[in-house]
Homo-oligomer: A and B are copies of this chain.
Amino acid sequence: MASETVRDRILAAGERITPQRDLIAGVLETAPRPLSASGLYEAVARLDPRIGRATVFRTVAALERAGIVEQLSLPGERSGYLLCATVGHHHHLVCQRCGKVSDLPEETVGPFFATIESDHGFSVDHASFSVYGTCAGCSARLV
């Protein structure tokens, strides 16, 4: 099901399907947490060592264009690639205990941007950010 969905989303975005893209999307799909560039490349190479480095980056770029993958980047850390369930632009909550990344819906972010516009006269165009902390599941486990 999920695999078919990713295929559909790639096609819907006007991108071609190739075995390499299928494989790379599959790796991202099964990863429990964001993969670094080298982590992704190694995981892909383990499944098919003939896939080149450039193809991995090109595929990630294609998946980003299709809105399927997002790149997380944080100062001082290597950036990570993440397959997103939510369509379109959105933000992330990253749990520092379990590494799980969940999507932050527009409803939560919208009022915040509205505040910025009214308080600072700053017209928000876009923002891409991740909030780090402890997810509900991990909090419960810590009681």
A-to-B contact residues, CB < 8 Å = 64, 70-76, 79, 93, 95-96, 102, 104, 108-109, 111-113, 115-116, 119-136, 139
Contact = CB atoms under 8 A, between A and B. Distances in A.
Contacts of A79: 73, 75
Contacts of A73: 73-75, 79
Chain A contact residues, majority secondary structure: mixed
A131 B136 contact: no
Contacts of A125: 96, 132-134
B121 A127 contact: no
Given A73-B73, A109-B112, 15 more contacts: A70-B75, A71-B76, A73-B74, A73-B75, A73-B79, A93-B116, A104-B120, A108-B115, A111-B115, A122-B134, A125-B132, A125-B133, A126-B133, A127-B131, A129-B129
